[in-house]
């Protein structure tokens, strides 16, 4: 899913559905939803097993925070590299 950039991806496996947040390491997770891919410094994931209840409010908060992070990054003005002057 995307909004202003990749928010998260969904993957299905035999025993789990995985939601991977592209910039998850930069997000606050006060409810502790992230339970997978914790070792990296960019992504974070949530593994959801069959029958498991998901804290819907916390998931919505994470999604909203991921969108806000994407939009904040998009609104930053891009700096141009200093032009080099050639002399003859």
pLDDT of 88 higher than 80: no
Q: Which two tokens stand for residue 50?
A: 């069959």
pLDDT of 8 higher than 70: yes
Q: How confident is the model at residue 12, as a pLDDT?
A: 97
- Containing structural domain, residue 43: 8-74
The structural domain count of the chain equals 1
**62 found inside a domain:** yes
Residues 21-37, mean pLDDT to the nearest whole number: 96
Per the document, the length of the chain is: 88
Instruction: State what percent of residues in the chain have pLDDT above 70.
Output: 85
At 49-74, the pLDDT tens digits run 999 999 999 999 999 999 999 999 88
**79 found inside a domain:** no
**83 found inside a domain:** no
pTM of the model: 0.80
């Amino acid at each position: 899913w995307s909004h202003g950039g990749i928010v998260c991806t969904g993957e299905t496996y035999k025993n789990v559905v995985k939601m991977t947040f592209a910039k998850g390491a930069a997000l606050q997770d006060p409810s502790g939803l992230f339970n997978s891919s914790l070792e990296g410094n960019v992504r974070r994931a949530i593994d959801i097993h069959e029958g498991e209840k998901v804290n819907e409010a916390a998931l919505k908060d994470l999604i909203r925070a991921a969108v806000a992070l994407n939009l904040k990054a998009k609104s930053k003005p891009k700096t141009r590299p200093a032009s080099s002057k050639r002399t003859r």
